[in-house]
């Protein structure tokens, strides 16, 4: 797994500044006031920092902007990064500042002088999150960037505050690595092995193979993978950090490691991007890793359905009728609407076995959600206003875009089948909504539930504030916060 940048917190030692040979970061507020570290840098640079701050260019800066002073006179450093940041910066402003530093530092060690900074831990989190690159498949991969030392007035407090945030970053890195990995590397079996390895963190991990899934009646899940040589699996991860006997929160993820569309074959152009169709399972895996690393005081079970959707002589066909674990029958109209067939069985299994206090599923489920919301927001569908509002609040606090979408009987009626209990698609109109309606048919009446369609946010073609191009890790931070606020607050 891609490792996080080593970040340590120390008391400000002015004598280290002149000899530091990497990059030095100083933080300046809108009024241009310099703290002790910045004043020392300014003196060593013979007033150059003050001249920059007083110039017109700096006056137009926004929170998190960085001005680079290369090869500064009087210092051994290769550059001084001057970060514009209010003393009472918001969480997102501090994270953006850290991310801006990460983008500019290259391979250099960084000495960040944050003596009087209010949100030191958040700045470090932003730096860690943005300091990511997926190069596992490159033969000439270079070592990751050097360590970061943050000098501040209360290093012990900053380190304690940063620890759970860096656990979130490590979970997001796992999600990104899984989502970025090519399908010949991340098979259903290697994915399951990655999750089994998290037993070292205190998670209890079970792997259900095809024989066990068949005995359970998970025929809709199995039909998706029957055209592939890769065996279908369900992996169950338990984190029992809450009160013994308390019902867990269930997180369910779609893990289609590659999606050709099956017999309803996708167009060739862009099919290579379907390595990310396991993004929902990737988020569930990353959340479970973060919970274990920070020792969350909550009971959470993560379940992922791992399959590969391939065309072959044994593949499921349009027109086939499949019986789900619940007992309902599904007429398969389009084999490219396979994610819901995977999720419905795993969701029903989660409810039957664990009787969860609530259930949240995640999936790169529909292209329709991208048409509706672009790459800025995930689609949020829910049968419970309180749970949904808590999630939306958590997502907003973490800067992860999410937008609630409707559910209703008229959409559900679009799934009626002439020969089975339901069809697996409802046609082109409202495609993301009818997909959610399909899943809701497998949610018990007394179970609060959220469906997150993350097709537009799991992997993107342009960089975001906290991630480069590619997999974003969207959802790890928001779900972690939801768990902390809703299930650990008591």
Q: What is the pLDDT of residue 57?
A: 66
What does the alpha-carbon distance between residue 16 and residue 7 come to, in Å, rounded to a whole number? 17
> Alpha helices, DSSP H only, in 311-380?
339-354, 368-373
Per-residue model confidence as pLDDT tens for the chain (490 residues): 899 999 999 987 767 888 899 999 999 887 788 888 888 899 999 999 999 888 876 767 788 889 999 999 999 999 999 998 888 899 999 999 999 999 988 888 999 998 778 899 999 999 999 999 999 999 987 777 789 999 998 999 999 999 999 999 999 999 999 999 999 999 999 999 999 999 999 999 999 999 999 999 999 999 999 999 999 999 999 999 999 999 999 999 999 999 999 999 999 999 999 999 999 999 999 999 999 999 999 999 999 999 999 999 999 999 999 999 999 999 999 999 999 999 999 999 999 999 999 999 999 999 999 999 999 999 999 999 999 999 999 999 999 999 999 999 999 999 999 999 999 999 999 999 999 999 999 999 999 999 999 999 999 999 999 999 999 999 999 999 999 999 996 5
3-class DSSP state of 126: helix
Identify the CATH number of the domain defined by range 169-487. Answer: 3.40.630.10
Say which of 43, 103, 118, 266 is annotated catalytic. Answer: 266
What does the alpha-carbon distance between residue 425 and residue 422 come to, in Å, rounded to a whole number? 9
Q: For this structure, is 340 an active site residue?
A: yes
| Residue 381, H or E segment | strand 378-382
Q: Which two tokens stand for residue 78?
A: 């290769």
Q: What is the pLDDT of residue 82?
A: 93
Angle at 145 between CA 139 and CA 151, to 5 degrees: 170
- For residue 314, count other CB atoms closer than 10 A to its CB: 10
Identify the CATH number of the domain defined by range 7-153. Answer: 3.40.220.10
Give one DSSP letter per residue of 61-73, joined into a string: --TT-EEEEES-T
Sequence spans of domains, the chain: 7-153, 169-487
- For residue 199, count other CB atoms closer than 10 A to its CB: 12
Contact indicator for 268, 217 with CB cutoff of 8 Å = no
Say which of 23, 119, 340, 481 is annotated catalytic. Answer: 340
Q: At what angle do helices 279-294 and 188-196 cross, to 10 degrees?
A: 10
What does the alpha-carbon distance between residue 360 and residue 391 come to, in Å, rounded to a whole number? 10
What does the alpha-carbon distance between residue 294 and residue 160 come to, in Å, rounded to a whole number? 11
> Measured between alpha carbons, how far is residue 261 from residues 216, 312, 477 in Å?
25, 11, 30
pTM of the model: 0.96
> Measured between alpha carbons, how far is residue 127 from residues 107, 108, 466 in Å?
13, 13, 8
Phi, psi of 276 (to 5 degrees): -90, 10
Q: Which two tokens stand for residue 84?
A: 């514009």
Contact indicator for 24, 81 with CB cutoff of 8 Å = yes
Q: What is the pLDDT of residue 456?
A: 98
Contact indicator for 419, 395 with CB cutoff of 8 Å = no
Q: What is the pLDDT of residue 31?
A: 78
Q: Which two tokens stand for residue 484?
A: 């902390």
Q: Which two tokens stand for residue 481?
A: 């916060």
For residue 138, give the DSSP letter: -
What does the alpha-carbon distance between residue 221 and residue 136 come to, in Å, rounded to a whole number? 30
| Residue 156, H or E segment | helix 155-180
3-class DSSP state of 44: helix
What does the alpha-carbon distance between residue 480 and residue 484 come to, in Å, rounded to a whole number? 6
End-to-end CA, the chain? 34
């Amino acid at each position: 797994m891609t490792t996080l940048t080593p970040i340590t917190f120390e008391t400000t030692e002015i004598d280290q500044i002149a000899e530091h040979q990497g990059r030095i970061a100083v933080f300046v507020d809108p009024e241009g006031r310099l703290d002790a570290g910045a004043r020392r840098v300014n003196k060593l640079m013979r007033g150059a920092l003050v001249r920059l701050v007083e110039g017109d260019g700096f006056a137009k800066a926004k929170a998190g902007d960085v001005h680079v002073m290369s090869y500064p006179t009087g210092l051994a450093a290769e550059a001084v990064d001057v970060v514009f940041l209010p003393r009472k910066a918001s969480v997102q402003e501090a994270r953006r500042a850290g991310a801006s530093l990460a983008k500019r530092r290259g391979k250099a060690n960084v000495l960040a002088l944050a003596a009087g900074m209010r949100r030191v831990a958040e700045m470090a989190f932003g730096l860690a999150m943005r300091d990511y690159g997926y190069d596992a498949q490159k033969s000439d991969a270079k070592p990751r960037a050097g360590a970061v030392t943050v000098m501040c007035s209360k290093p012990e407090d900053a380190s304690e505050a940063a620890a759970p945030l860096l656990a979130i970053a490590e979970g997001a890195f796992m999600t990104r690595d899984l989502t970025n990995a090519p399908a010949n590397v991340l098979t259903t079996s290697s994915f399951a092995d990655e999750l089994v390895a998290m037993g070292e963190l205190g998670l209890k991990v079970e792997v259900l193979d095809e024989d066990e899934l068949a005995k359970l009646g998970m025929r809709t899940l199995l039909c998706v993978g029957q055209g592939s040589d890769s065996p279908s699996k369900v992996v169950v991860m338990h984190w029992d950090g809450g009160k013994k006997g308390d019902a867990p929160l269930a997180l369910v993820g779609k893990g289609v490691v590659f999606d050709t569309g099956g017999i309803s074959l996708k167009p060739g152009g862009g099919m290579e991007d379907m390595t990310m169709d396991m993004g929902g399972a990737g988020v569930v895996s990353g959340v479970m890793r973060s919970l274990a690393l920070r020792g969350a005081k909550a009971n959470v079970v993560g379940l992922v359905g791992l399959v590969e959707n391939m065309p072959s002589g044994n593949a499921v066909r349009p027109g086939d009728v499949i019986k789900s674990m619940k007992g309902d029958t599904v007429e398969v109209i389009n084999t490219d609407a396979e994610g819901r067939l995977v999720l419905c069985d795993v969701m029903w299994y989660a409810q039957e076995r664990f009787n969860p206090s609530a259930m949240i599923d995640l999936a790169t489920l529909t292209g329709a959600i991208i048409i509706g919301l672009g790459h800025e927001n995930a689609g949020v569908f829910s049968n419970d206003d309180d749970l949904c509002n808590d999630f939306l609040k958590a997502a907003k606090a973490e800067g992860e875009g999410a937008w609630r979408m409707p559910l209703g009987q008229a959409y559900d009626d679009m799934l009626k089948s002439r020969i089975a209990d339901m069809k697996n698609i409802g046609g082109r109109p409202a495609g993301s909504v009818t997909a959610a309606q399909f899943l809701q048919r497998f949610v018990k009446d007394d179970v609060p539930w959220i469906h997150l369609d993350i097709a537009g946010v799991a992997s993107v073609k342009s960089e975001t504030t906290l991630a480069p191009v590619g997999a974003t890790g969207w959802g790890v931070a928001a779900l972690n916060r939801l768990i902390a606020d809703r299930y650990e607050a008591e």
